[in-house]
Amino acid sequence: MFVLSNPNNDNHLNLLLLIYSIKKLFNLHPLLNLNYDNRKIEISFYDATPWQKALQLSDVLQLLNIFLFLNPQNSNSCFYSRFPIQPYTFYMKGLIFSVKRYSIHDGPGIRVTFFMKGCPLNCMWCHNPEGISPFPENVIRSDKVGEREFSNSEEVGKYYSVENILEVLEKERVFINQSKGGVTFSGGEPMLQFEFLLEALKACKENGYHTAVDTSGYSSTENYKSIIPVTDLFLFDIKHLDEARHIELTGVSNIGILDNYRLLLESRKDIMVRVPVIPGFNDDPDHLKKLKQFLLSTKTESLKKINLLSFHKIGSSKYKRFNIPYRMGNVEPPAKGKIQDLKEFFLEVGVKVKIGG
Ligand code: SF4
C-alpha cells in the first residue's frame, strides 16, 4: 500500500493536480488501484507479480519525483513545500540516509540517531543536503589521498524496516542503558515519513528505549498528536518568527510550525528548542529580542533547554556532489564571542541554554 495524506484541507488544488497525474498513470497501469477522499490517497496493487509491483512502484515514484521537484524554490506554487506528503510508506519501510551510533548531541546520554531522508523545507544554510530529496540517490564521491583522487559511486538512502531499527539498537543496548540514552529520529524531516516514524517510535517504546524526534515542526497537527504518546523528547527548530522571512529562508510558512510548537508545549513531553544562528538571516537584534520574548511568553514545564546552533560550512562540499547550488558561500560563521553573548541573552528565558546540539 502506498499512502499519500493531505493533512491540510486547504490544499485541494494541489490534491486535485496529484489525483489527475496519478490517474494518468493509473490508465497506463491497470493493475494499480486508486482510492481517494479529500485527505488521503491510497494506491494499492491488484494481484500482481513482485516484478510488476516493483515496476509500477518505480513509475509512481518517478512521477512524484517530477511533481515534487518541478519548482522547489517557489513556495507559492510549489506543491512540495505546501503539501507535506509521505511518499514512501509502502511496505512500512523508512528511507534512512545515515545512522549515527554513539551520538551525544541529539538528546540525553549515548544515542543512536537515524537520519531520515526527505525534507519539505529548503533552508538556505542546510548542512545535510543529502537529506533533502525523499528518494534514494546515487552520487559520485571523490576523495583525495595525497596527490591522487579516487572516485566511487555511492548509494545515499537505504530502506529500513522497524525490525532493522530494533536490530541496530539492540547492538548498542548496553551503552544506551548505562548512559540513560536512547534513540533519536532526525533528518531531513522525520515527520515526512510519518507512518513509518510512528511505527518505529511505538516499537522503540515497547522495547524500553527513550525516544526523541528532531523536527522542523512542519507537518500536520494530527501527526504530532499521534506521536506525542510515544515520544519522550522533541528537538524542535525555530528558525524565524516572521512568516514572510521564514518563507524566504526556508521555502515554507511558519504558521503551522509555531502552532505545532504551542501544541507540544502542552504535551508534558520534554522540548529542546533549537535555534540556528545564521549571520544576516535571523541574528538581527530585533528578531532575537522577539524570539526571546516568544520563548518566554509561551514557556511551559515542557521547555527544558535552548540549543544555539551556530552556522558552519562543514556540509558545503556535499552540495556539489548532490548537484545543488550552495547559496551560503559569502556568509561567515558567527564569532565565538557573539554566540557566547547570545547564550547569556537567552538565559533570561529561564531555562538552560547550550551552545551546540
Ligand atoms: S529543515 Fe533541516 S534538513 Fe530540512 S532543509 Fe532545513 S536544515 Fe535542511
CA of 298 to the centre of ligand 1 (A): 24
Q: Which of 113, 125, 128, 237 is the best mutation target for the ligand 1 pocket, counting ligand atoms within 8 Å of the beta carbon and taking the most? A: 128
By DSSP bridging, strand 137-145 and strand 148-156 are antiparallel
Would you state the cell numbers that stand for residue 89, as one nine-digit string? 510508506
Q: Which of 250, 277, 281 is the best mutation target for the ligand 1 pocket, counting ligand atoms within 8 Å of the beta carbon and taking the most? A: 250
Q: Which of 78, 216, 253 is the best mutation target for the ligand 1 pocket, counting ligand atoms within 8 Å of the beta carbon and taking the most? A: 216
pLDDT per position as a tens digit, 73-99: 333 322 333 333 344 333 468 889 999
Q: Which of 106, 125, 126 is the best mutation target for the ligand 1 pocket, counting ligand atoms within 8 Å of the beta carbon and taking the most? A: 126
The pLDDT assigned to 144 comes to: 77
The pLDDT assigned to 133 comes to: 86
CA of 31 to the centre of ligand 1 (A): 37
Would you state the cell numbers that stand for residue 55, as one nine-digit string? 515496476
When pLDDT is averaged across residues 325-341 and rounded to a whole number, the result is 91
Using alpha carbons, select from 201, 328, 231, 213 the residue that is nearest to residue 276.
328
pLDDT per position as a tens digit, 281-298: 999 999 999 999 999 999
The pLDDT assigned to 28 comes to: 46
Please state the atom number of ligand 1 nearest to the C-alpha of residue 216.
1
The pLDDT assigned to 29 comes to: 47
Most confident of 66-75, 78-87, 323-332: 323-332
CA of 343 to the centre of ligand 1 (A): 23
Please state the atom number of ligand 1 nearest to the C-alpha of residue 122.
5
Please state the atom number of ligand 1 nearest to the C-alpha of residue 188.
3
CA of 278 to the centre of ligand 1 (A): 13
* pLDDT at residue 188 is higher than 50: yes
CA of 119 to the centre of ligand 1 (A): 6
The pTM is what?
Answer: 0.77
pLDDT per position as a tens digit, 127-169: 999 998 888 888 888 777 778 888 888 889 998 989 999 999 9
CA gap 74, 251 in Å, rounded:
7
Q: For atom 3 of ligand 1, which residue has the closest CA? A: 188
Using alpha carbons, select from 270, 267, 272 the residue that is nearest to residue 295.
272
CA gap 191, 119 in Å, rounded:
9
CA gap 5, 43 in Å, rounded:
11
Question: What residues are in contact with ligand 1 under a 6 Å CB criterion?
Answer: 119, 121-123, 126, 128, 131-132, 187-189, 216
The pLDDT assigned to 77 comes to: 29
Cis before 188? omega within 30: yes
Q: For atom 7 of ligand 1, which residue has the closest CA? A: 126
The pLDDT assigned to 35 comes to: 55
* Average pLDDT, rounded, for the chain: 82
CA of 262 to the centre of ligand 1 (A): 20
pLDDT per position as a tens digit, 226-235: 999 999 999 9
109: enclosing H helix or E strand: none
CA of 47 to the centre of ligand 1 (A): 39
CA of 249 to the centre of ligand 1 (A): 11
Total Cβ atoms within 10 A of residue 132 = 23
* pLDDT at residue 316 is higher than 90: no
Please state the atom number of ligand 1 nearest to the C-alpha of residue 131.
3
219: enclosing H helix or E strand: none
CA gap 244, 262 in Å, rounded:
20
pLDDT per position as a tens digit, 201-224: 999 999 999 999 999 999 989 899
CA of 216 to the centre of ligand 1 (A): 7
* pLDDT at residue 50 is higher than 60: no
What is the three-class DSSP state of 357? coil
Looking at the DSSP assignment, which residues form a beta bridge with residue 139?
154
CA of 215 to the centre of ligand 1 (A): 9
Would you state the cell numbers that stand for residue 315, as one nine-digit string? 556540509
